């Protein structure tokens, strides 16, 4: 029915491409374009037995004229950005110039500053509106499905949601003492930053990993989790009516934390450039080069993820608690698409968000976060495309 151009050829892009091919009624043609074309070709080879026609191309997504040329040649309906957050703005610029809708899974981050905020992408609102184009921001799992969960709860169960806790639990074990489940540079920048949450109209800042809680996750068991800043907190604090507090917790094992502390203490997680044997290097990028490639973890990772939102608020004047989550099994994902659950839980919603724009289910010119759209068709699609969700009206709350 339509054409989609996927930028990036990493763990998430390979799952999104596989899911597009399962959904060839909507995705009749896809193009995989990335910095290293051989990675696009490898994905194409794995997926060749499909009705969806697959093309590949080399592109530098930091270069707007190069992107515009490619978009004008292929003429996609939507560009799905699964490169790195550093490329969000150049890809949005190119979409505006070529008249193409835009979808991503992570908000813009300047490469030389570990700071992510929506302000850069929100400043494109008028330009997308004027061109009649839609930019859907954050269509992964978190951000992504977590925002859809909140919008669904707001639409069907609550008059006001006062408290939201997003709980991201990875109970998987890959057998390495230290590895990250997605791009190590992005992951380490995120978890080594100060924590932050929204309460009563203000941001409260914490030291990294300062707030710890223990939670018993369905399908996984009891885990320690730590409060982090995560990008959907910024948009949910604006878009959910009556919100008083919104927090994000992620589970980490002791081995991961001990290694991270040590790497931090010796300066390996720094993004300050330094000279090494006459060449400028960035320690965190060097560290990425020596760590296991997240795409290689799939076969080794056993166990499950459980990601969801606990919400408390009121309905018809009465207090109400609600928990909605997905459990995803690493080995099942590997069997289906050759990737572990972290890439799977991001790649599936990336395909679904793109489908919502491609088939016109979500039509709204401008730049929007995912919770600003009707959640119902997306919730149905999650059940259909591999991320079924579970509801509880009597959850244990996080203190
Ligand atoms: N919302 C969520 O739930 C969620 C969860 C996980 C990840 N994410 C996001 O998903 C995105 C992809 O993650 P991933 O784990 O798949 O990362 P990845 O494996 O590192 O893949 C990134 C891909 O982007 C390509 N790329 C980087 N810079 C480029 C450039 N200038 N031009 C063209 N291509 C470029 C890379 O090319 P090379 O192959 O040449 O390096 C690589 O193929 C990231 O933005 C990440 O933050 C979101």
Confidence band (pLDDT; 50, 70, 90) for 1? confident
The string of pLDDT tens digits covering residues 215-225 is: 999 999 999 99
For 308, the token pair is 């969801």
Q: Say what the pLDDT of residue 57 is.
A: 98
User: Tokens 């839980």 identify what position?
Assistant: 345
Q: What does 243-281 look like in DSSP terms, one character per residue?
A: --EEEEEEE--HHHHHHHHHHHHTTTT--S-EEETTEEE
Question: pLDDT-derived band of residue 106, with 50, 70 and 90 as boundaries?
Answer: very high
Q: What is the pLDDT of residue 190?
A: 81
Q: What is the pLDDT of residues 49-98, one digit of tens each?
A: 899 999 999 999 999 999 999 999 999 999 999 999 999 999 999 999 99
Q: Choose the residue to mutate in 19, 64, 91, 182 for probing ligand 1, maximizing ligand atoms within 8 Å of C-beta.
A: 182
For the whole model, what pTM was predicted?
Answer: 0.95
pLDDT digits (tens, 9 = 90+) for 188-245: 888 888 999 999 999 999 999 999 999 999 999 999 999 999 999 999 999 998 999 9
Residue 302: what are its φ and ψ, rounded to 5°?
A: -120, 150
- Residues within a 6 A CB radius of ligand 1: 8-13, 34-36, 39, 59-62, 82-85, 87, 105-106, 140-144, 182-183, 186, 294-295, 346
Name the class of domain 145-339: alpha beta
Helix, strand, coil percentages, rounded to 5, for the chain: 40, 30, 35
pLDDT of residue 254: 87
Q: Tokens standing for 303?
A: 């166990």
187 Cα: distance to centroid of ligand 1 (angstroms): 11
| Gap from CA of 217 to ligand 1 centroid (Å) | 29
Collapsing DSSP to helix, strand or coil, 95 comes out as helix
Residue 112 predicted with pLDDT over 90: no
DSSP bridge partners of 366: 134
Using CA atoms, how far residue 204 sits from 45, 158, 197, 244, 335, in Å, is 48, 26, 5, 12, 42
- The residue whose CA has the least distance to atom 1 of ligand 1 is 140
Average pLDDT, the chain: 95
Task: Evaluate whether 2-137 and 145-339 have a shared fold.
Answer: no
pLDDT tens digits for 344-381?
Answer: 999 999 999 999 999 999 989 999 999 999 999 999 99
Residue nearest to atom 27 of ligand 1 (CA): 83
Name which residue sits closest to atom 43 of ligand 1, judged by CA: 9
Secondary structure element (H or E) that encloses residue 161, with its range: strand 160-170
Residue 293 clears pLDDT 90, i.e. is over it: no
pLDDT value of position 210: 94
Residue 211's pLDDT is 96
Q: Which atom of ligand 1 is nearest to the CA of 293?
A: 19
Q: Which atom number of ligand 1 is nearest to the Cα of residue 138?
A: 1
| pLDDT at residue 111, as a whole number | 82
Distance CA(324)–CA(215), nearest Å, equals 15
Whether 302 contacts 145, CB under 8 Å: no
Nearest-CA residue for ligand 1 atom 31 is: 61
Question: Which residue pairs, CB below 8 angstroms and at least 24 apart, start in 360-365?
Answer: 362/134, 362/136, 363/134, 364/134, 365/128, 365/129, 365/131, 365/132, 365/133, 365/134
Q: Ligand 1 centroid vs 8 CA: distance in angstroms?
A: 6
Q: Which residue among 183, 295, 301 is best mutated to probe the pocket of ligand 1, counting the most ligand atoms within 8 A of its Cβ?
A: 183
Average pLDDT over residues 166-186: 90
Domain boundaries, the chain: 2-137, 145-339
How far lies 206's CA from each of 193, 196, 203, 233, in Å? 10, 6, 10, 15
219-235: b or e for each residue (b if 16 or more CB lie within 10 Å)? bbeebebbbbbbbbbbb
Q: What is the mean pLDDT of residues 310-334?
A: 97
CA 248 to chain centre: 14
Taking the centre of ligand 1 as the mean of its atom positions, its distance from the CA of residue 161, in whole angstroms, is: 33
CATH of domain 2-137: 3.40.50.720
């Amino acid at each position: 029915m339509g054409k989609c151009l996927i930028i990036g050829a990493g763990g998430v892009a390979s799952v999104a491409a596989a899911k597009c091919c399962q959904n060839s009624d909507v995705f009749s043609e896809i193009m995989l374009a990335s910095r290293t074309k051989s990675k696009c070709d490898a994905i194409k080879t794995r997926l060749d037995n499909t009705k969806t026609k697959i093309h590949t191309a080399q592109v530098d997504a930091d270069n707007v004229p190069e992107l515009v040329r490619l978009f004008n040649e292929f003429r996609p309906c939507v560009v799905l950005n699964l490169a790195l957050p550093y490329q969000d703005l150049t890809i949005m610029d190119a979409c505006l110039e070529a008249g193409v809708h835009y979808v991503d899974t992570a908000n813009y981050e300047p490469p030389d500053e570990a700071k992510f905020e929506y302000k850069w992408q929100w400043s494109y609102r008028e330009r997308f509106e004027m061109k009649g184009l839609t930019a859907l921001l954050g269509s992964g799992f978190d951000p992504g499905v977590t925002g859809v969960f909140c919008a669904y709860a707001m639409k069907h169960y609550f008059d006001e949601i006062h408290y939201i806790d997003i709980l991201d639990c990875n109970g998987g074990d890959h057998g390495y003492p230290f590895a990250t489940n997605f791009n190590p540079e992005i992951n380490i920048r995120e978890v080594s930053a100060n924590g932050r949450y929204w309460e009563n109209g203000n941001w409260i800042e914490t030291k990294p990993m300062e707030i710890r809680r223990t939670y018993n996750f369905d399908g996984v068991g009891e885990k320690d989790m730590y409060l982090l800043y995560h990008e959907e907190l910024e948009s949910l604090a604006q878009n959910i009516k009556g919100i008083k507090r919104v927090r994000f917790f992620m589970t980490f094992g002791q081995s991961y934390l001990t290694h991270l502390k040590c790497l931090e203490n010796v300066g390996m997680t720094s993004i300050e450039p330094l000279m090494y044997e006459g060449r400028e290097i960035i320690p965190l990028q060097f560290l990425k080069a020596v760590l296991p490639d997240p795409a290689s973890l799939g076969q080794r990772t056993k166990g499950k993820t459980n990601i969801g939102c606990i919400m408390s608020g009121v309905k018809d004047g009465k207090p109400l608690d609600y928990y909605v989550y997905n459990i995803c099994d690493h080995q099942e994902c590997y069997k289906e698409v050759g990737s572990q659950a972290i890439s799977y839980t991001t790649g599936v919603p990336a395909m679904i968000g793109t489908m919502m724009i491609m088939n016109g289910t979500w039509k709204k010119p401008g730049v929007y976060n995912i919770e600003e759209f009707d959640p119902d068709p997306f919730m149905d699609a999650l059940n259909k495309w591999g991320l079924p969700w579970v509801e509880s009206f009597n959850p244990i709350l996080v203190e």
